[in-house]
Structure 1
Amino acid sequence: MSKAAKRLYLIPVLSKALDILELLQAEGEPMSLEALHRRTKVSKTTVYRVLKTFTHRGYLARSTDGLYRVVSKPKKMRFGFAAQSAEMPFSIAVTESLKAATAAAGIDLLVLDNKYDAATAIRNAEEFVKARVDLVIEFQVEQDAAPVIADKIAAAGIPMIAIDIPHPHATYFGVDNYRAGHEAGGVLAYHAQRQWNGKVDWVLGLELPEAGTLVQSRTTGAFEAVKAALPEIPVESFVRLDGRGMREKSRKVVADFLNRHPKDKGVLIAAANDTSALGALDAVRELKREKQVAIVGQDAIPEAVAEIAKNKSALIGTVSHEAAGYGTRLIHIGLALLSGQTVPPYNYAETKLVTAETAGRI
């Protein structure tokens, strides 16, 4: 940077970007990357990145023959995001990831809170239609509300991405629920083999029926992994309980089950999420049965990861859904939908297993 530029507090790369844009405006006709490089004397790499950025932000258009031209600046895109709940740690993490991604992409984001409630989620869908957002990202847990929400959004001609719970007309983004559950079940089975010589009295699926069969397949996957590793467990020992994904509800149903089986010692619990897993842990501790129970959750929320890292905790693992990466993936899918690209109906988030050996490194 020259001394004059430093005194004027100029940003060299921004100046180069404006040189490229101003040249295109002055010429009034499409130009190639090579021509812009020659005329501006800016490196090809910088010219390429500037052109990609201006095209992404809507200042330029690229034709099929590779030429760039100035276009009228469109209105700034606005996405609507209906968050699952401002009180649920995983939902908060997804919201923060999406806020960061939209800010980086130059997209406005209207965030509404579904409050873990179907009626609220439906009202929020109506609010997005009134606001005329360009795209809706829906994160709510009630399967029965999904078609109502989807119909309102589709009737307004607005594309939609549904997180975790499939919605009619929407593109899905979330984990492969069966595989995530299978990972959890593998951890439970290994614990039973190593700590209890494979002796298991009960395998509990602490699930969220309201979310529908896709999320319930987390329990199915966990059960199948345990059955494969411990085939001697009778089928009647596999029990599904409704924890609704909530801590207190999960605590109550697990406490009730354990009180009805006071002498049973090997109990494996696969929870639909970490909030339920922590509720189960609360019940186990209240009844002083930590040595007899092993729990694995989903989501890798901070409190669960901290608990897993503790010595001899009954919460032995969780499957991270890598919430920090949701925002970028959701924006890529959303922009692809709006540009008319073909997008797969199901798009899966990455997962990572977290156990006591790895919890300290998360």
Structure 2
Amino acid sequence: MQTFRQTLSVTALVAASALAAPAMAEDFHGFDPTDVGPETPTAENLQAMVADAMEATPPRNGETYVIGYTMWGGNSPFSLYNKQGLEALGEMAGVEILTADNEWDPNKNVANVQTFATRDVDYVINSLLDVSFAPAVKAPLDAEGIGLVALDIPIPGAQWMGVDNARAGFRAGTYIAQSAVSRWGDAAQDATLVVVSFPLVGPNGQLRNASQVAGVQSVLDLPEDRIIWLETDATQEGGFAQMNNIMTRLDPDKPLLISSFSDEVLSGVVRAVNVGGMAENTIAIGMGGEMLEMVASDPVFIASMSFFPERYANAALPMALATLAGEDVPTSVFAYTNLVTPANVCDANPEIACSDTPDWMAEDADIDEEAYDAYVASLHADPYYEGYEMLLPPAP
């Protein structure tokens, strides 16, 4: 299988290996790190978390906690949802949220964290852009004894909060493949799969995309020569440009399946498909949930494995507060995820209307659990994830 694996430093692997088997914390004022659901913490519980934390670790400014948050880019829907959720919870908790925009620049990410380290910030929640910059992001915080939660892209030695990409990706791949079989019958076996990837994010992105492919291959006998790995940046524009570059390689008369590491980039890819006149035989599935308007309105963009970015704060902020309170917090916490289609998009976002779906679209994936267990076992045996076991679900 063609992948975008990157060489990881020995230092990073050794630092991360100590985090492979964290002890699990008990419920902390309603926060269970082993089972994060869709519910928003109550103001009462958040304020109780803050009270416990202040008793154990007084705020650096002597008055109130300040949590630094770096966002990928100010024009990123996913980051904006993260920011809105974190600010809403911060207000409920009585915690100041100090936001910095990385502007899609990993050097800016380092500079933002360095600034946080000099401004009496009590904890940082970071959106890493490039895995190779992880040590540089963590170093200034370590020097000041400031804790760090890494969102989605892991930083060895830091806490991590993100998606169970093995399960979510496998579920997404299974769903799009089963949808193809329901729609096109035996012709689905002749499909091409385009896997939209983002190499700079490292193991997390690799796991997400590889799991999508594994899910597809649990349904379809798809050879490697009909799997195209499309490397992009993290933007809609980049997705459009890269997809546009390969359109002439695709047979417009055969089914085309597209899976993507993010909804945002997929929106650009789907636009290229529509402009290129290939929409009739194409179905696509995203990951993230930040472009649900397209799920509701574009017949190519049939579903998203939604991570509900506006709810990331439901885990990230309690992780920080529990750690400040001296609780035994796991080094990794999985976000709540669910498959969103036009039929249930109004449940995910009440501002978007639900609609009837074609007969060939099911409500959810019918996962081959035996195939999934075998796949997870293969991940645990793969040396590529050594030191990044926090990304993996428990071995079967």
Category of TM-score, reference length = shorter chain = 0.7 to 0.9
Shift of residue 54 of structure 1?
7.8
Q: How many angstroms apart in 1 are the aligned matches of 2:246 and 2:130? A: 25
Distance in 1, Cα, partners of 2:282 & 2:345:
19
Q: TM-score, length-normalised on structure 2? A: 0.71
Superposition deviation, residue 199 in structure 1: 2.9
Q: Which residue of 1 aligns with 2:242?
A: 253
The residue identity in structure 1 corresponding to 2:228 is V
* 1:1-362 equivalence runs, <5 A: 56-58=49-51, 75-197=63-185, 198-230=188-220, 232-263=221-252, 265-301=254-290, 304-310=291-297, 313-362=299-348
- For 1:31, the equivalent position in structure 2 comes to none
Distance 2:148 2:53 in 1: 26
Distance 2:174 2:184 in 1: 15
Q: Residue 59 of structure 1: CA displacement?
A: 9.4
Higher Cα Rg: structure 1 or 2? Answer: 1
CA positional deviation for 1:264: 5.3
Q: Are the aligned partners of 2:196 and 2:230 in contact in 1 as well (CA < 8 Å)?
A: yes
Measured after TM superposition, the shift of residue 286 of structure 1 is 0.9
Contact 1:55 1:61 in 2 (8 A): no
* Alpha-carbon separation, structure 2, partners of 1:344 and 1:360: 33
Count how many residue pairs are aligned between Structure 1 and Structure 2: 301
Mapped contact 2:67–2:97 kept (Cα < 8 A): yes
Q: Percent identity?
A: 25
Task: Work out the CA distance in 1 between the residues paired with 2:191 and 2:101.
Answer: 41
CA 1:247–1:55 in structure 2 vs 1: closer, same or farther (change >3 Å)? Answer: closer
Shift of 1:55: 6.1
CA contact (8 A) 2:49 2:325 kept: no
57 and 341 in structure 1: CA distance in 2 versus 1, 3 angstrom threshold:
closer
Partners of 2:265 and 2:73 lie apart in 1 by 15
| Larger relative contact order, structure 1 or 2 (CA cutoff 8 Å, min sep 6) | 2
Structure 2 counterpart of 1:110, which letter?
L
2:112 and 2:333 map into 1 onto residues whose CA distance is 24
- The residue type equivalent to 2:210 in the other structure is T
5+ long unaligned stretches in structure 2: 1-41, 349-396
User: How high is the TM-score relative to the length of structure 1?
Assistant: 0.77
What residue identity is the alignment partner of 2:296? A
Shift of 1:207: 0.9
Pairwise CA distance, 1:259: 1.3
SS of 2:69's equivalent in the other structure is: strand
Aligned to 1:236, the other structure's residue is in SS state helix
Closer, same or farther in 2 for the Cα pair 1:337/1:249, shift >3 Å?
same
- Distance of aligned partners of 1:95 and 1:55 in 2 relative to their CA distance in 1, 3 Å threshold: closer
Q: Over aligned residues, Cα RMSD in angstroms? A: 2.5
Work out the CA distance in 2 between the residues paired with 1:199 and 1:250.
26
Output the amino acid matched with 1:307: M
Query: Secondary structure of 2:218's partner?
Result: helix
Counterpart of 2:29 in structure 1 is: none
Q: How far is the alpha carbon of 1:262 from its aligned partner?
A: 4.0
1:340 is displaced (CA, Å) by 1.9
1:97 Cα shift? 0.4
- The gaps in structure 1 that reach 5 residues or longer are 1-48, 64-72
Q: Which has the higher helix share?
A: 1
Separation in 2 of the partners of 1:172 and 1:321?
Answer: 15
- Secondary structure of the equivalent of 1:229? coil
